[in-house]
Amino acid sequence: MPVSRLGARILDWFGSGSRDHAAHGHDHGSGPHRHGVIDATIATTDRGIWAIKWSFVILAITAALQMVVVALSGSVALLADTIHNIGDATTAIPLWIAFMLARRKPSPTFTYGLGRVEDLAGIIIVGIILFSAIVAGYQAIDRLINPRVVTHLGWLAAAGIVGFLGNEAVAVFRIRVGREINSAALIADGYHARTDGLTSLAVVLGAFGVWLGFALADPIVGLLITLAIFGIVWQSARSVLTRMLDGVEPDVIGDIHHAAAHVPAARIVEAKARWVGHRLHADIAIAVEDSLPVCEAKKITAALEHQLFEHMPALAAANVRLANADADRRHEHAHREHHGH
């Protein structure tokens, strides 16, 4: 239906569209195709750098406008929001460095390249967010203990709306591009920017509370913003640390088995995967009929590699090997125990 398609497009624009790969069939037009001339890594990092640059510009302008209103109004809630926006703009620097380093070719020392620098950038970003939360919380508590008059309430509300619009624009950039290039650091920072947009609206509520005569509304909103920042610290840290520890989403292994289902002669004995930056590396052991000639077994492994690249656009390397007899027997034994036979 046209309405449902419009809704899907709106969700996709805001970075909330479906990423389900189970019902893809053989339509791969939405993902980057791997048979072009341009190196996929360079293309995706160019997109990442583009998102980072514009995010930095938008957040820098937003923070500058808010700082003017902070000086006029004395609002600690807006100060907390501004501190966090400055922190957000600062996070663009380690991300930009990480994407530039990720473009370097593998070397004898770094045989997988420098894609893992993105994960280090994610850790730095989490640290910056945590620091901004501590500063904002301190300022809000100090204002609760030592109340001050908040003025220029109209400008204060306008600054909150500007903060929301600026952060939402940044969130759209980072989440959409982060999903396109499978960068956990960029996606995590995008969701952080989205939370900042909502906290900017809380500044508007604080201004309204002060206008109604409740002077403590401003520092209370500042504390609520601080709690929201701590929440995004947890969310972002969990995502980045999972990848640093070679964790992958459950759907990744499911996609590997789904691709193998298109090669009936191959039976997966072991499947492993890990992210190196925003590119996926897979190591798969398969079993084939013992009576097959070596040349036929090689054709099966090549067919599985082809299916993996067709079904998993983020895949950068796939090592498909034949499992030895002992590994195959262990797999069969574990399979029978799992099914209670």
DSSP codes of every residue in 157-209: HHHHHHHHHHHHHHHHHHHHHHHHHT-HHHHHHHHHHHHHHHHHHHHHHHHHH
- 88 three-class SS: helix
Domain 250-339 bears CATH identifier 3.30.70.1350: yes
Domain ranges of the chain: 2-13+37-244, 250-339
Distance spanning both ends of the chain, measured CA to CA: 47
Please state which CATH number belongs to domain 2-13+37-244.
1.20.1510.10
Q: Do domains 2-13+37-244 and 250-339 have the same CATH topology?
A: no
For the segment 161-218, what is each residue's pLDDT rounded down to a tens digit?
A: 999 999 899 888 888 888 888 777 778 778 877 877 877 888 888 889 889 888 888 8
317 backbone dihedrals φ, ψ, rounded to 5°: -150, 140
Beta bridge partners, 287, equal: 267
Burial of 97 by CB count in 10 Å (0-12 exposed, 13-18 middle, 19+ buried)?
middle
Kindly give the confidence (pLDDT) of every residue in the chain, 341 residues in length, as a single tens digit, with 9 standing for 90 and above.
565 666 665 555 555 554 443 334 333 333 333 333 334 454 466 777 788 788 889 989 999 999 999 888 888 888 888 887 887 787 778 877 887 888 888 899 988 888 888 888 888 888 888 888 888 888 889 888 888 888 888 899 999 999 999 989 988 888 888 888 877 777 877 887 787 787 788 888 888 988 988 888 888 988 888 887 788 788 888 888 888 888 988 889 999 999 999 998 888 989 999 988 778 899 999 988 888 888 888 889 999 999 999 988 888 889 999 886 554 455 454 444 545 55
Structure tokens at 283: 């190591």
Could you tell me the CA-to-CA distances from 218 to 81, 215, 261 in Å, in that order? 12, 7, 59
